[in-house]
Amino acid sequence: MRGEGTRIFAEEDQMILASTEEIWRGRRVGLPYVFQFSPISRDVGMPYKRAAVQCPYGIAFLSREPQVYLMQGEQLAPIGTPIRDTLFRDLTDPWRAFMSYDPEHLTISLFYKVKDGATDYPTHEMRYHIDEKVWTRHIYQTQLTAATVGTVSTSGLTTWQQLSGTISAQTGSYLDYLGSGTGHDDTFLGTSGGTVVTYSQLRAKDYGGASDDTVTAYIQTGALFSDPWRTKYVDEIRIDNAGDSASSLSIAVSGSAGAGYGNEQEVSLSLTSNSTQHRINMGVPGDYFALRFTSDDTGFAVSRVFVRARDVGANVI
């Protein structure tokens, strides 16, 4: 087995051994600890020991390419193809990247550091939704070091402000003051400052502070119009979208495959409409195009996108 050992996973009575270069499986063939080893992949390894996570759907990991694989049995499925260009462009210091699995929402998350030079630890997350097989991107205002799943409890516990008089004057029992509550599983994130934070779909802003950035839903397409020898002009965009609340959606166009966005327009999403088509005229030049959709509300869906570009006055799509 080539490379340096990085991870070992258990699958019932078998072992998955990973190095920086290869992945092998060990099957128990005798007692007490006699194993027979065979290669799963001699071409792909798990070079970043924290950027790998085991879940009921297999083992997800970040490879050197960079690519995100989901290993199910002997098969390596490259689930990270839609975000590979983004990782290639933005990912840096991959040995600081780490992954987590959320059983409540059935998602696999990759947390990574970007090439902005301003942070020492990951501030970006790519989240893979297993059922829908889609990726969503999240950006954090704090640096992250670890992620784990725990239970968030909500209860009617008695607070100090609710007590009247001194502690010795209280006549209720422990159960009287305990209250009742429920809980749900969620992902806890450890920060570089030694604090722990978690998600909240009820907050309008990160951490609930007035100065924090608004939580943003983010979708970015891959590169469009792949002929690099001709400059093209995107002059019309049509989108079919719907939302579960009245909000707004911003559409931006990049002529450099997402490296920069200089043009952006905002459209309104109506609560009463199941689906609405918006037509936008921009006139953006470039060689490789990408679209970015952002919203201050997470309850929107884009079902269809039409993009028209012109090349020397002729339609190319």
Distance CA 162, CA 289 (A): 59
Helix (H) or strand (E) holding 24: strand 23-30
Which amino acid is located at 228 in the chain? P
Beta-bridged to residue 125, according to DSSP, are 111, 138
CA angle, corner 82, sides to 79 and 83, nearest 5? Answer: 95
| Structure confidence by residue, pLDDT tens digits, 2-25 | 999 999 999 888 999 999 999 999
Three-state SS at 300: strand
Task: Give mean pLDDT, residues 266-293.
Answer: 76
Please give the C-alpha separations between residue 50 and each of 109, 170, 256, in angstroms, as whole numbers. 12, 50, 32
Q: What are the backbone dihedrals phi and psi of residue 229, each rounded to the nearest 5 degrees, phi first?
A: -90, -5
Q: Tens digit of pLDDT for each residue in 57-72?
A: 999 999 999 999 999 9
User: Can you give the pLDDT at residue 175?
Assistant: 55
Question: DSSP letters of 35-101?
Answer: EEEEEEESS-----TTSEEEETTEEEEE-SSS-EEEEETTEEEETTGGGHHHHHHHEE-GGG-EEEE
* pLDDT tens for each residue of 249-269: 788 888 776 667 777 888 877
Alpha-carbon distance values, 30 to 11, 13, 35, 36, 242 (Å)? 17, 11, 7, 9, 59
Q: Could you tell me the pTM of the whole model?
A: 0.59
Q: Give the DSSP letter of residue 262.
A: -
Q: Looking at the DSSP assignment, which residues form a beta bridge with residue 309?
A: 234
Structure tokens at 189: 């994130």
The winner for highest mean pLDDT among 45-49, 156-160, 205-209, 271-275 is 45-49
Q: Which phi and psi angles does 160 have, rounded to 5°?
A: -60, -35
| Domains contained in the chain, CATH given | 86-126+138-214 (no CATH), 217-315 (2.60.120.260)
Residue 97: both structure tokens together? 């990247």
